[in-house]
Structure 1
Amino acid sequence: MRGLLLAWVWAFACMPLGTTAQGLSTASVPQSPVAAWRGYLTEAKRVVDAAAQPAPPWNGPRTGPRAQPGKHLAVVAEDLRNGGILGVIDGVLEAAKVIGWSVKIFDSGGSPDLRLKVLANALASRPDGLIIVGGDAHALLPGLQPFAKQSLPIVGWHVAAKAGPVPGTPVAMNVSTDPLEVARVTALAAIVQSGGRAGVVIFTDSNFQVAQDKADEMAAVVRACRSCTLLGVRDVAISQCEALMPGTTHALLAQYGKRWTYALAINDIYFDYAAPVLTEAGIPNGAMVMLSAGDGSESAFLRIRQSTFQTATVAEPLNLHGWQLIDEMNRRFAGERVTGYVFPVHLVTASNIDADGGDRLLYDPANGYRDIYRHIWQRP
């Protein structure tokens, strides 16, 4: 339902004023530019408010195979400096302990030169299955094929543009929220907060298709806002944020000055290095607003809680996703299909930050998922 509403808002924003859409009566389309604009903002606010509601009751799987015994997993992380990746791995370790499996973690350190070597090292550890956390499944394909040749199941987190099996790769399941919906909610939140007058710069990392898709979607939503301005999209590798973001932020401030009022990013990590520059430059909190289309890091929660530039993050349920990765792997070990489950998008703001784990600086839905997975696996 929310996805349909988002699509309607976007289409409505793009519709020329005074135009009658085919199949609609003239009474169905606002004739006044003012009425049309108010309708757009009202629907945008409705979408944003819906995304900011507390976690809904569990609507994922409730049945499945019991725990397959004695498994050893290799987990290859794209970069353990990334808070989202760390949060997922914490969930994997927690769930693996419950199901009774051992786990060995390998870190690529965000280095393209190391990714295939690390995958080879993971294969040499003789695992029963592989979990990849971060990265791009298609870029990693040469390193994944040896696992497939040995019929070792592979699941991943944020390794493709869509949740579910990754076509053209041996990845049976990409665990993720809907990245395009994440992007739309983030951009719409900026539009709503600005009253439709945001001057936006978007930060992305073109090394990952899912990041580029999210940035493209945010840009499209901002362009559809007639009184907003998309100042630019900056391609900054996540692995180089610490080195590049301070200089990039200084350059953007010099280039756009007060026209730059909103920063959107595909990950909270960009703001870890932009916020100190804004503080040093004497930019008031209200003069620059940051919103992230993932992943809900501890530092992002702190910035939102302290009203330090960042007002929102579309937080992933990182720990829950770790449990889902273990469940999807268990299904593959049992010869069953993956669930394809996609958790709903959730927007964290100052008004809801204390709910669903926010007091612990993370989004951990209070929907009983741990007990449900224990029941599925028949584990105490």
Structure 2
Amino acid sequence: MSPNAMAHDPEQATVQRVTALASPRELAEAQRVVDAAEQPAAPWSGPRTGPRAQPGKHIAVFAEDLRNGGILGVVDGVLEAAKVTGWSVKIFDDVGAPDLRLKLLASALAGNPDGLVIVGSDAHSLLPGLEPFAARGIPIVGWHVAAKAGAVPGTPVAMNVSTDPLEVARVTALAAIVQSGGHAGVVIFTDSRYRVAQGKADEMAAVIRACSGCTLLEMRDVAISRSEETMPRTTRALLAQYGKRWTYALAINDIYFDYAVPVLTQAGTPNGALSMLSAGDGSESAFLRIRTGTFQTATVAEPLNLHGWQLIDEMNRLFAGQPVTDYVFPVHLVTAGNVGADGGDRLLYDPANGYRDIYRHIWQRP
């Protein structure tokens, strides 16, 4: 990875400066993409047929830190859907600790599950722990376990449920360009331990670099599991280093902003001086910040509960000996203008497209 792609030392900055403003054509194209992503949820475009719910299944859910609102939201969706299919679920949470992952996977395997659902962990890094599941013929599906949706090459993961991570990143960066009028001074936060996170960060950086009037100040590598302890001092350091040049913060997850906002408030930074936009996942705190106008202006919210239902459906297809759907839900940008729609009144993005009833129909469950 080039120095311009990432600041390896947390105390070092990678700066790219330009002086020209973005052209009207650039801004118009960015506005078109952003407007489309802000539209209310479209009618259901996913599967409408499939096998009935396979009876009596027990699944293990391996979660990469339930303190992460996105991961928690998906697990909640899995539990809701599994109740409909009549399956039992056991959850294994590694609390973001790398040394616990393989141990917990071994514990999950010892419970003789019929299937394994991975939520938020990189499939390739888990490979030594996944191979024993594959050896026993236990199907595996996951959420945000690779850089692309679909089967994960080189692993036994049959389906990675996700929106398109690169499109999520592109929409997020374009929204910053639109909001700034084409001259955003940007810091990007990522967690390079995860391919999907680094892929999103690299895409956001590429979009900002392509904006002739924008400045990519730095890409900062902060482990999500350590964001509570790291982000306060990181935010103070960035404020001291860049001052008023830092006008936009982009991140691969809302959780970074949970711990940056108190520092900005303590520093007396006006809400309008620094805008925050996240390329996932649409946490409750993100919705609150957007609704109250507290620094965060957008999040590309994942349909977390829907994705939980999709994980159960993909697993059910594998149990029935059928292929997965490869369905990818469209990207949705939450801003102050639409934050109350599609579940926003409950501080989440829950598309009003009838997906629960559709899956119940597919599974032939009441």
TM surpasses 0.5: yes
Q: Is residue 245 of structure 1 aligned with residue 231 of structure 2?
A: yes
CA distance in 1, matches of 2:292, 2:245: 24
CA distance in 1, matches of 2:25, 2:117: 45
Report what 1:109 is aligned to. 95
Q: Is residue 44 of structure 1 aligned with residue 20 of structure 2?
A: no
Report what 1:60 is aligned to. 46
Report what 2:162 is aligned to. 176
Q: Is residue 332 of structure 1 aligned with residue 354 of structure 2?
A: no
Report what 2:153 is aligned to. 167
Report what 2:218 is aligned to. 232
What do you get for the CA RMSD once the two structures are aligned?
0.9
Q: Is residue 261 of structure 1 aligned with residue 247 of structure 2?
A: yes
The alpha-carbon deviation at position 125 of structure 1 amounts to: 1.2
Match of 2:71 among 85, 94, 105: 85
CA distance in 2, matches of 1:269, 1:63: 36
CA deviations over 1:228-275 (Å, ceiling 9, x no partner): 100000000000000100000000000000000000000000000000
Report what 1:139 is aligned to. 125
Report what 1:312 is aligned to. 298
Q: Is residue 192 of structure 1 aligned with residue 172 of structure 2?
A: no
CA deviations over 1:7-48 (Å, ceiling 9, x no partner): xxxxxxxxxxxxxxxxxxxxxxxxxx99x8111111110100
CA distance in 1, matches of 2:29, 2:246: 25
SS at match of 2:298: strand
CA distance in 2, matches of 1:326, 1:135: 18
TM-score (norm 2): 0.94
Partner AA of 1:199 in structure 2: G
Report what 2:353 is aligned to. 367
Report sequence identity in percent. 82
Report what 1:30 is aligned to. none
Report what 2:10 is aligned to. none
TM-score (norm 1): 0.91
Partner AA of 1:290 in structure 2: M
The alpha-carbon deviation at position 154 of structure 1 amounts to: 0.3
Report what 2:188 is aligned to. 202
CA distance in 1, matches of 2:332, 2:117: 24
SS at match of 2:124: coil
The alpha-carbon deviation at position 126 of structure 1 amounts to: 1.2
SS at match of 1:69: coil
Report what 2:109 is aligned to. 123
Partner AA of 2:207 in structure 1: V
CA distance in 2, matches of 1:84, 1:107: 14
SS at match of 2:189: strand
Partner AA of 2:41 in structure 1: A
Q: Is residue 97 of structure 1 aligned with residue 83 of structure 2?
A: yes
CA distance in 1, matches of 2:26, 2:216: 18
**Any gaps of 5 or more consecutive residues in structure 1?**
1-32
The alpha-carbon deviation at position 115 of structure 1 amounts to: 0.6
CA distance in 1, matches of 2:224, 2:81: 28
Report what 1:288 is aligned to. 274
Report what 1:270 is aligned to. 256
CA distance in 2, matches of 1:143, 1:298: 32
CA distance in 2, matches of 1:41, 1:132: 39
Report what 2:12 is aligned to. none
The alpha-carbon deviation at position 309 of structure 1 amounts to: 0.0
Relative CO higher for 1 or 2, CA cutoff 8 Å, sep ≥ 6?
Answer: 2
CA distance in 2, matches of 1:148, 1:244: 37
CA distance in 2, matches of 1:113, 1:95: 30
Larger radius of gyration: 1
Partner AA of 1:157 in structure 2: W
Partner AA of 2:208 in structure 1: V
CA deviations over 1:300-340 (Å, ceiling 9, x no partner): 00000010000000000000000000000000000000000
SS at match of 1:114: helix
